[in-house]
Amino acid sequence: MGQKIFLDLIYQSMQDSAQQVRRSLGRPSSRATRQQALRQVAMLKAAKEAQQTGK
């Protein structure tokens, strides 16, 4: 349960940051789905693990 809450907080933080960037660039806001955000987190985690094992 704690991991789900943590992922939800990451998702919301990513959405807020992306919205701020789009606003600063003058672009319309759009929101990624939760599934897209979870996929992005999984890709980032895999990249980090690959980087750590590559050292």
Q: How many structural domains compose the chain? A: 1
Question: Would you give the end-to-end CA distance of the chain in angstroms?
Answer: 32
> Between these two residues, 55 and 37, which has the higher pLDDT value?
37
5-47 pLDDT, tens per residue? Answer: 888 888 889 888 888 888 888 866 566 677 877 888 888 889 8
37/32 Cα distance (integer angstroms): 7
Look up the domain containing 28 and give its range: 2-54
1 pLDDT tier (thresholds 50, 70, 90): low
Q: Look up residue 45 and give its amino acid.
A: K
For residue 52, the model assigns a pLDDT of: 85
Backbone torsions φ then ψ of 52, nearest 5 degrees: -70, -35
Backbone torsions φ then ψ of 15, nearest 5 degrees: -65, -45
For residue 32, the model assigns a pLDDT of: 67
31/54 Cα distance (integer angstroms): 34
For residue 40, the model assigns a pLDDT of: 83
